[in-house]
Structure 1
């Protein structure tokens, strides 16, 4: 079947691009229980195999794990080094909600990040219906929470928590971050971790080994954000046994480089502002959002605000600094919901920074140890950074946001100081083997949200062109990670897994962005 592109009725402007490859702020801090189970840590490598064991015990219990079958996939840390050590990857097989008629082929999930706690995504997947009539398989990507080794960097979490009280792109914040990165790298390498082995090629091979180890003839793949990058790499290198593949909030392997972040940021913001302009009440109340944003970025960069505000949900007030770079980063990261961004910018321009200040304060509350920054840095520094420079980032920023201060445009949104970080992290360049298009006849669903400022929706088009039996769906008014936010996207995904070459996309036709928040003058 020829590929189809479904563009929902939407007021969005032309699409541009980027990807948030990982977020570092977390929810309320809590102690993290280890994966409770016997067995040694990393040891000598052998043939990949699955070893049953107890499920992880997260700080907040996950209902679906009560009925899951769990264990570890044991794989070589570095497949290029025969005889090296083995690492353990946490796995959960979650049964279908309707076990009387389960589909034969399960869904395997590939999380975003890289480095996010995969198990923390399970409630969203279950609520989205991923295991309604088929098993759902979740595996923590190498280095993630509950794996052995776990490439968490509490040093970076603590630095991120302190950075909210500093200017976003200034030297004190940079020094704080680089010191934390050096400490984490030194600790991980002293523990024997081969940082060069934590990359997308090895991640993809892990999933290929998991299918074989679980004796699954065929399965379906669903990945979002970095998980789409991983899914496309997996499809390219290990196409055997893949029945269908759905990717959400696309990070194209061929285009995923650091300067790419700027075009995605501009695309998402342009689309949000265009959607506001298409709603009469929003257009009347907030008539020139581009000008308002530019004015506020320039003003805050020249004269940052220093405030003491409580984090969202309450708690002791914390010192935050709101400058131009922090403002942009909060918008790109959707720390303020898209439907509230016009109102928040208008309030800010009228002397009320509360929405953005509280969103900045949220970064002070870190889930220390939950995020595998080690995986993030190994992927970013070996696959996204090589071949480009700080000058290329600045050039891309100037093209995306003409006239903005260079001090803002010098830092890629969500990944500040990345080139200096990579000089410390010091992993080999893998760009030539990773920046490759995936060309495949496997049925594919390509999902994007028009408001996505992390992985701009327009970049999905090139990916879809290379997947000859693909269906592209654009959901208006949705930001990053579409499926959990859109009941229509959930219907389309279920229909796709039931009928991969002919999914029902009818619900998309009448979708429009929700009304924006309108505050009184």
Structure 2
């Protein structure tokens, strides 16, 4: 009788434990659009919040809000197929990248569910909005690696204390909690199962989710996969240098590249040695760094090159970038700081909650140093990542050992759902070896090697096509050689360095009407004057020689000015289609004529202004002449402001 009672008691406890997570209240509520660009209601887009417990399994009643956006399928198909997208970081916003999915071919027959991982983006609470900004200010200073590391740790610890003061349970922000959020979200949105699409660190979250709730998943896409969390940081340096070596080899094995960028690998290490002794200070926009300056040291340079390997077009400008540092061309390198600012836009409160919860504690710092020491000229790896060991050591100082998570993913081998893995050839953080090893975890997985691409290659034209075919028909074998048709890496050569091209392109692209309105009016005045007075000159309406000369000078200057502006815009558009990042340095040499036009325009403007001053008393319609001269001066002012001149 006692045995029977004991068995009943054990069963009761087991049932309560297993049902504990779902016993907590979970609701989904619709809301106004999270993004201001979506002011008008759209029946094809659902915005809302998933209310979930902050700590799954706890009975404290404390809940948080997960920001969610559902892009309904564009077709009229009645099936309830869906794809949930898990962003990386950890700490990057998924909803901020909703534009990627607006016209994605997968949306035709699938609802696209995009969400912000707990604590990020539009979630409530958001853990930290400005820690990344503080990190950029630290990187901008002219100081040692040790000072950078100390200040970064202090800033992170202040953030941690702020989270504790706000009553946030930092132990509840991890991949397992996110897996529970996803399971609850699927149920709340009334999907029986869905396709899971993870990128970068989101692939690790996706694997934890797939291991915990395998019945939720119809198919799994892992792009730039984290294979083994215990080597994610340990292999950081060797992964980076293996990818960078591919760029060195391309340059060395092509006589044209090698002629323009001789001994690129040697120059790379020379830059590191030079910047260790003589940091390079450049001017930047104060909206990025409050001081208006950014000092590149060796560590900043290494991070800049590492980040360039993420993107194919940036890979193609790496030789230019290295040589700009080598020649200490600060006027163009100031444009690079915006790349740092983009890197640091994610929520670093979440980043450290997750990383210090499950990643860094499972990586051996001595192994990290051992791997980094293999590259002598690198001087100890990349401190931007190495410093995370120090941050997490301080972060976890007062935590119980039980707070550190160790997830067993061995049961993924029993998963029945099909898996597609993407890995980029130049990816410096999750290389192709990761993709192969990740695919080997599953019994029904395919690994796609994305030739010529970097991080997250599934969002390229080829990648989208492969992903679409796989998700729409996961039982059919995908084209494993799809990326063989990708265009070869074409390193950028013959760039005319001009810091103003990027600023002009950005200014015109943003089309701030208040800022550009004077320029638009000036260009209209110049055009109207050309059309009106060219006809009058032909009809000989100006018998006085000084009036005729004045009009001819004004027409000539205005034509050159308008031609210069139009050609500059067309060059920026053409180059941006070819490789947007070239604009950060200038324009290819085939656009050299534009810079010749700049000097011709300025020369004509100076001569016209001088002639006007000397003949002003004898000139008819002086007001019109002056307005045209002023319009040309205004165009020249914009060119000066942008830095074209």
In the superposition, the TM-score normalised over structure 1's length comes to: 0.81
CA contact (8 A) 1:232 1:253 kept: no
**Counterparts of 1:366-515 in structure 2 under 5 Å?**
371-388=346-363, 390-399=365-374, 401-406=375-380, 409=381, 411=383, 414-426=384-396, 427=399, 433-434=406-407, 436-437=409-410, 438-439=412-413, 440-484=415-459, 486-505=460-479, 507-515=482-490
Instruction: Specify the alignment match of 2:27 in structure 1.
Output: 50
Q: Separation in 2 of the partners of 1:150 and 1:56? A: 17
Equivalent in 147, 159, 163 of residue 184 of structure 1: 159
> Is 2:279 the counterpart of 1:321?
no
Greater mean deviation of Cα atoms: 144-153 or 344-353: 344-353
CA contact (8 A) 1:393 1:410 kept: no
- Per the TM alignment, residue 330 of structure 1 is displaced from its structure 2 partner at its CA by 0.9
Q: Separation in 1 of the partners of 2:181 and 2:340? A: 32
Q: How many residues align?
A: 467
Q: Separation in 1 of the partners of 2:42 and 2:386? A: 36
- Per the TM alignment, residue 416 of structure 1 is displaced from its structure 2 partner at its CA by 4.8
CA contact (8 A) 1:307 1:357 kept: yes
In the superposition, the TM-score normalised over structure 2's length comes to: 0.66
Greater mean deviation of Cα atoms: 192-201 or 333-342: 333-342
* Runs (5+) with no aligned partner, structure 1: 1-44
Q: Separation in 1 of the partners of 2:442 and 2:333? A: 40
For the residue of structure 2 that corresponds to 1:250, the secondary structure is coil
Instruction: Specify the alignment match of 2:197 in structure 1.
Output: 222
Going from structure 1 to structure 2, the CA distance change for 1:447 and 1:364 (only over 3 Å counts) comes to closer
Question: Is the radius of gyration larger for structure 1 or structure 2?
Answer: 2
- Per the TM alignment, residue 494 of structure 1 is displaced from its structure 2 partner at its CA by 0.3
Q: Separation in 2 of the partners of 1:428 and 1:169? A: 33
CA contact (8 A) 1:469 1:501 kept: no
Q: Separation in 1 of the partners of 2:239 and 2:393? A: 25
Greater mean deviation of Cα atoms: 265-274 or 442-451: 265-274
**Counterparts of 1:253-332 in structure 2 under 5 Å?**
253-277=228-252, 279=254, 281-310=256-285, 318-332=292-306
CA contact (8 A) 1:51 1:73 kept: yes
- Per the TM alignment, residue 109 of structure 1 is displaced from its structure 2 partner at its CA by 0.5
Instruction: Specify the alignment match of 2:539 in structure 1.
Output: none
Equivalent in 325, 338, 342 of residue 315 of structure 2: 338
> Is 2:98 the counterpart of 1:122?
yes
- Per the TM alignment, residue 285 of structure 1 is displaced from its structure 2 partner at its CA by 2.8
Going from structure 1 to structure 2, the CA distance change for 1:516 and 1:238 (only over 3 Å counts) comes to same
CA contact (8 A) 1:50 1:74 kept: yes
> Is 2:116 the counterpart of 1:146?
no
CA contact (8 A) 2:229 2:363 kept: no
Aligned-pair Cα RMSD in Å: 3.0
Greater mean deviation of Cα atoms: 248-257 or 53-62: 53-62
Going from structure 1 to structure 2, the CA distance change for 1:134 and 1:361 (only over 3 Å counts) comes to closer
Q: Separation in 1 of the partners of 2:249 and 2:39? A: 39
CA contact (8 A) 2:279 2:296 kept: yes
For the residue of structure 1 that corresponds to 2:317, the secondary structure is helix
CA contact (8 A) 2:224 2:422 kept: yes
Going from structure 1 to structure 2, the CA distance change for 1:218 and 1:203 (only over 3 Å counts) comes to same
Instruction: Specify the alignment match of 2:52 in structure 1.
Output: 75
- Per the TM alignment, residue 464 of structure 1 is displaced from its structure 2 partner at its CA by 0.6
For the residue of structure 1 that corresponds to 2:28, the secondary structure is strand
Greater mean deviation of Cα atoms: 100-109 or 163-172: 163-172
- Per the TM alignment, residue 446 of structure 1 is displaced from its structure 2 partner at its CA by 0.3
Q: Separation in 2 of the partners of 1:64 and 1:169? A: 52
- Per the TM alignment, residue 315 of structure 1 is displaced from its structure 2 partner at its CA by 11
C-alpha distance after superposition, 1:15-34 (max 9, x if no partner): xxxxxxxxxxxxxxxxxxxx
Going from structure 1 to structure 2, the CA distance change for 1:422 and 1:58 (only over 3 Å counts) comes to same
Equivalent in 110, 129, 132 of residue 108 of structure 2: 132
Instruction: Specify the alignment match of 2:611 in structure 1.
Output: none
Q: Separation in 2 of the partners of 1:81 and 1:101? A: 41
Going from structure 1 to structure 2, the CA distance change for 1:83 and 1:347 (only over 3 Å counts) comes to closer
CA contact (8 A) 1:343 1:519 kept: no
CA contact (8 A) 1:114 1:226 kept: yes
Equivalent in 138, 149, 152 of residue 163 of structure 1: 138
CA contact (8 A) 1:344 1:353 kept: no
For the residue of structure 2 that corresponds to 1:403, the secondary structure is helix
Instruction: Specify the alignment match of 1:97 in structure 2.
Output: 74
- Per the TM alignment, residue 86 of structure 1 is displaced from its structure 2 partner at its CA by 1.7
Going from structure 1 to structure 2, the CA distance change for 1:513 and 1:66 (only over 3 Å counts) comes to farther
